[in-house]
Protein backbone atom coordinates (compact mmCIF):
# COMPACT_ATOMS: atom_id res chain seq x y z
CA UNK A 1 0.00 0.00 0.00
CA UNK A 2 1.63 3.21 -1.17
CA UNK A 3 0.80 6.81 -1.81
CA UNK A 4 -0.68 5.92 -5.19
CA UNK A 5 -3.59 4.19 -3.43
CA UNK A 6 -5.01 7.30 -1.75
CA UNK A 7 -8.48 7.73 -3.13
CA UNK A 8 -10.86 10.66 -3.11
CA UNK A 9 -11.92 10.02 0.50
CA UNK A 10 -8.28 10.04 1.60
CA UNK A 11 -7.60 13.32 -0.19
CA UNK A 12 -10.70 14.89 1.37
CA UNK A 13 -9.59 13.75 4.82
CA UNK A 14 -6.13 15.27 4.27
CA UNK A 15 -7.70 18.54 3.07
CA UNK A 16 -9.93 18.72 6.16
CA UNK A 17 -6.99 18.05 8.50
CA UNK A 18 -4.88 20.75 6.81
CA UNK A 19 -7.81 23.19 6.99
CA UNK A 20 -8.30 22.50 10.70
CA UNK A 21 -4.60 22.81 11.49
CA UNK A 22 -3.85 25.99 9.55
CA UNK A 23 -7.21 27.70 9.13
CA UNK A 24 -8.65 29.34 6.06
CA UNK A 25 -6.75 32.61 6.49
CA UNK A 26 -3.28 31.08 6.46
CA UNK A 27 -4.10 28.75 3.58
CA UNK A 28 -5.51 31.54 1.41
CA UNK A 29 -2.49 33.72 2.24
CA UNK A 30 -0.17 30.88 1.30
CA UNK A 31 -1.98 30.34 -1.99
CA UNK A 32 -1.71 34.07 -2.71
CA UNK A 33 2.05 33.91 -2.18
CA UNK A 34 2.29 30.86 -4.44
CA UNK A 35 0.38 32.76 -7.13
CA UNK A 36 2.72 35.75 -6.82
CA UNK A 37 5.71 33.43 -7.08
CA UNK A 38 4.38 31.81 -10.24
CA UNK A 39 3.66 35.21 -11.79
CA UNK A 40 7.14 36.43 -10.91
CA UNK A 41 8.70 33.28 -12.37
CA UNK A 42 6.80 33.68 -15.65
CA UNK A 43 7.82 37.35 -15.82
CA UNK A 44 11.47 36.40 -15.31
CA UNK A 45 11.31 33.76 -18.04
CA UNK A 46 9.76 36.27 -20.45
CA UNK A 47 12.42 38.89 -19.65
CA UNK A 48 15.15 36.30 -20.21
CA UNK A 49 13.70 35.33 -23.58
CA UNK A 50 13.41 38.99 -24.60
CA UNK A 51 17.05 39.60 -23.62
CA UNK A 52 18.20 36.58 -25.63
CA UNK A 53 16.26 37.77 -28.68
CA UNK A 54 17.77 41.24 -28.30
CA UNK A 55 21.30 39.81 -28.03
CA UNK A 56 20.78 37.70 -31.16
CA UNK A 57 19.38 40.70 -33.03
CA UNK A 58 22.34 42.86 -31.96
CA UNK A 59 24.81 40.19 -33.04
CA UNK A 60 23.07 39.82 -36.41
CA UNK A 61 23.29 43.57 -37.12
CA UNK A 62 27.08 43.62 -37.17
CA UNK A 63 28.10 41.17 -39.88
CA UNK A 64 31.22 43.07 -40.98
CA UNK A 65 34.26 40.79 -40.75
CA UNK A 66 36.84 41.79 -38.12
CA UNK A 67 39.59 42.60 -40.65
CA UNK A 68 37.33 44.93 -42.65
CA UNK A 69 36.27 46.95 -39.58
CA UNK A 70 39.64 48.74 -39.47
CA UNK A 71 39.34 49.80 -43.14
CA UNK A 72 35.92 51.44 -42.74
- Domain ranges in the chain are 24-59
Q: Collapse the DSSP code of 63 into the 3-class scheme (helix H, G, I; strand E, B; otherwise coil) and give the result.
A: coil
Q: How confident is the model at residue 1 (pLDDT cuts 50, 70, 90)?
A: very low
- Which pLDDT belongs to residue 71? 61
Q: How confident is the model at residue 72 (pLDDT cuts 50, 70, 90)?
A: low
pTM above 0.75, yes or no: no
| DSSP type of residue 70 | T
Rounded mean pLDDT, 48-69: 79
Q: Are 18 and 27 in contact (CB under 8 A)?
A: yes
Q: Where are the alpha helices (DSSP H) in the chain?
A: 8-61, 66-69
Task: Please state, for a pLDDT cut of 90, what percent of the chain lies above it.
Answer: 33
Amino acid sequence: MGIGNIGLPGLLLIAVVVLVLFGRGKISGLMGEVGKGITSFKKGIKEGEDQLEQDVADAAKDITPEEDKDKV
